[in-house]
Structure 1
């Protein structure tokens, strides 16, 4: 895998096997701890249920700087997407039982080292049967938190058929005896579909609002969120938005709050390759970069910013200022050539209808990926229709991930782009965060270009850095 030109160098991924949902995250005793679902493909492959489902462990990594990650022993050998929280000061994890049936399991860590997890009784399926009328045992992701004397749990990701996404609220004062409270919220068809679900839930305070971050499996599937109020044991959504848009690769987001008061988001940047191609390569899935989210001044959407710690990976700065790209032309940047780069751009259209950056461009024009703004309609988009000549990819049509972008009077167009071989993460100002998997095949596909369509574009500022690779430590 060392010679694998698709394998990122500054994004985290395990040495081998499947990286799936980030299932829990906690800043604890000066370190950032992240747990993610992992299946090893070494030896005979992962164990499976009788129905063929691939069991996944809760892998555990931690970092002091959000950049370099240490490996720790698995917290759980067979788990599903849950969460970690403090119950009366004790680290506690909750997760669905891996054999399904609507039951959730709880384990605690009295020592506070996040290593020694205790299940009582020993059989976790008996520990916490969170189930009831209206729940869907085939999809029972769970999260929990403590508020006052109560521990609240959310599970059961759909309402009754035809009523779309919801969650079901339970509460307990001792983690042993649980009572069902009610549906947590009612979804509205102006925002979501009648077959949608609310999987991988993460519920937390963000500024003056509560945020319900989740993933929907129904088309157009993707990561999204509600903002609203939590009153009288019920959530009232007031705003809704998507994070990734059709065609994007951002899956199962999870957050933590650090000592600086930052809410930091992680996600799985899932694949465009087939399962057989991934298994042949020996790895599948990549952890996103750490993204700081905050509430915008109007309190109706979130803002995105890459964690400042990532700047420690920068090397070999190149820069250009005051470049004019004429109508329907390209501008080659030979000094920014590469497959592992960070870019900062400030742009001003002067008649252009589409303008931006091309990366992983093949010299013969056979492959390229475009990151651009369009003005009618106003969008930020990643065009990956020509990203790869491979015929084993399952990218979603039409091959362009486009998100609405609201340009306010007096604001310019700003881009932060992180390229890491087969991974592309894009920040459009602080409004949008998009992720895309690309798999170029041309060995010389390293060129970078500016471009403008429909009129000229003034590129006021361009900064590009080569990015260094990560090191990690096995514990």
Structure 2
């Protein structure tokens, strides 16, 4: 009954907070909480024919605090419905927070696996962490396991960082990886196994930093993809290297070969997954169509978050299908269901030469834009798309043909400091840009996911459309089509 009353109290506070939210930057087709703070996506799972997404949530404040699990579900990965908060902290196993984790369908029992957070000295950020489960038969109300924690403490050679369990089943055995750090502050991922999700045996280290990949690996995810194994991680503490690793913390992947019998993972180098400003803590799941689908947190720690003044903060990215491309590169592309967002289609030009710029006037805030540049015989220096606002506001996406570099510039749309991100891209004669624009976000998918760039933006003025541009010479526009998109929250 105490847990029920905590959920009711949190829901009541959330309802009250929602009434005070300023809608100016509220997103139209992304997962958000009704109000206040959210961060990592948790527990992505398909259960009884519906998609469930949980997220780290503080229902009492627009700033990070004692973590709860917020909850949405959908039949189509597009139209989301808010459900009651799934987990609240305060029990002996999770006194100071229900931190990130995962979800599995265990023969009809939806099981959440999460980290319990416990402060020893909050001011000095001294804490310890353990692993717990909560169970549900209806996918809405969850009861914490009476014998939590299922893993009380990390291996003896660990630092206190011990969190973010990702669980999956291989043959008849459950496996769990956790983000961890050694006592020497070396980031790593460790592995456990279980027959029943309740009693766990430590297997060993799955992968570990060579000293260059940070002091802690958060939010790990491990899965098979096209015959290879992929480890996605969010390392803390990687130093910036030119145009790489420019965010406070990074999210990326290692691809290689794995043997369950020996827990041996032979992998290549760490690669950033998204080259924008605001992509972190990605998680994936396998759906009933056989797709590996990823969703990330669409913000970054210590970034400028002006929506706090509006009574909310944080959102999740669009769902993306993950595939393996050439040279073991991870590609991400929007799920096909996102075409359900489209309201009206406008094909503006096809096989047309562009000598300077082509302007599309629209004050619609929610847009999908597809532009295809034929670069094969062009002597242009740069081509790209500019999202236009009043009084000089803009978000600019530029491809430098000679340098083979894609640049996203948000300095004139709310990111005055550190507003530019770059990504190497060999367009190979054809540049395809698929761009999703929301009230305070942009997601770019270039050349079928060879590059993705995700950033929040906070324009103060009304949008007046977008334009295609070229510099120094003509370029052929093979296609320019855009769609107005529906607001799923209205």
- TM-score after normalising by structure 1: 0.85
Is contact 1:360–1:440 with CA below 8 Å preserved after alignment? no
Structure 1 pair 127/464, CA: closer, same or farther in 2 (3 Å)?
same
Structure 1 pair 204/271, CA: closer, same or farther in 2 (3 Å)?
closer
Which deviates further from its counterpart, 373-382 or 30-39? 373-382
Alignment partners' CA distance in 2, 1:55 and 1:3? 23
1:380 CA drift (Å): 2.2
Structure 1 pair 360/38, CA: closer, same or farther in 2 (3 Å)?
farther
Aligned residue runs from structure 1 range 233-248, under 5 A:
233-245=263-275, 248=277
Q: What residue number does 1:180 align with? A: 202
Is contact 2:385–2:396 with CA below 8 Å preserved after alignment? yes
User: Is 1:382 equivalent to 2:408 in the alignment?
Assistant: yes
Q: Give CA-to-partner distance per residue, 1:98-143, whole Å, 9 cap, x none.
A: 225131112233x3x2234333326x3x432141123232452222
Q: What residue number does 2:424 align with? A: 404
User: Is 1:342 equivalent to 2:342 in the alignment?
Assistant: no
SS of the residue 1:167 aligns to:
strand
1:93 CA drift (Å): 1.9
User: Is 1:469 equivalent to 2:487 in the alignment?
Assistant: yes
457, 472, 480: which one aligns with 1:454: 472
SS of the residue 1:278 aligns to:
helix
Q: What residue number does 2:360 align with? A: 333
Alignment partners' CA distance in 1, 2:180 and 2:437? 34
User: Is 1:68 equivalent to 2:55 in the alignment?
Assistant: no
32, 49, 55: which one aligns with 1:13: 32
Alignment partners' CA distance in 2, 1:305 and 1:207? 16
User: What is the number of residues matched between the two proteins?
Assistant: 440
Q: Point out where structure 1 has 5 or more consecutive residues left out of the alignment.
A: none
Alignment partners' CA distance in 1, 2:288 and 2:312? 33
Is contact 1:135–1:156 with CA below 8 Å preserved after alignment? no
C-alpha RMSD over aligned residues: 2.6
Q: What residue number does 2:330 align with? A: 302
User: Is 1:286 equivalent to 2:286 in the alignment?
Assistant: no
Structure 1 pair 240/138, CA: closer, same or farther in 2 (3 Å)?
closer
Aligned residue runs from structure 1 range 187-206, under 5 A:
187-188=209-210, 193-206=212-225
Alignment partners' CA distance in 2, 1:283 and 1:277? 9
1:258 CA drift (Å): 1.3
Is contact 2:207–2:265 with CA below 8 Å preserved after alignment? yes
Alignment partners' CA distance in 1, 2:346 and 2:21? 27
1:188 CA drift (Å): 4.2
Structure 1 pair 64/197, CA: closer, same or farther in 2 (3 Å)?
same
1:157 CA drift (Å): 2.6
Is contact 1:243–1:434 with CA below 8 Å preserved after alignment? no
Alignment partners' CA distance in 2, 1:15 and 1:83? 22
Aligned residue runs from structure 1 range 1-400, under 5 A:
4-41=23-60, 45=61, 54-78=65-89, 79-87=98-106, 90-99=109-118, 100-109=127-136, 111=137, 113-121=138-146, 124=148, 126-138=149-161, 140-159=163-182, 161=184, 164-188=186-210, 193-219=212-238, 220=245, 221-231=249-259, 232-245=262-275, 248-270=277-299, 277-296=306-325, 298=326, 300-319=328-347, 320-326=349-355, 329-334=356-361, 336-349=362-375, 350-362=378-390, 364=391, 366-388=392-414, 397=418, 399-400=419-420
Alignment partners' CA distance in 2, 1:30 and 1:383? 40
SS of the residue 1:407 aligns to:
coil
Q: Point out where structure 2 has 5 or more consecutive residues left out of the alignment.
A: 1-19, 90-97, 119-126, 239-244
1:333 CA drift (Å): 1.6
With a CA cutoff of 8 Å and minimum separation of 6, indicate the structure with the bigger relative contact order: 1
Is contact 2:353–2:476 with CA below 8 Å preserved after alignment? yes
Structure 1 pair 277/12, CA: closer, same or farther in 2 (3 Å)?
same
Structure 1 pair 276/428, CA: closer, same or farther in 2 (3 Å)?
closer
Structure 1 pair 16/224, CA: closer, same or farther in 2 (3 Å)?
same
Q: What residue number does 2:15 align with? A: none
Structure 1 pair 160/207, CA: closer, same or farther in 2 (3 Å)?
farther
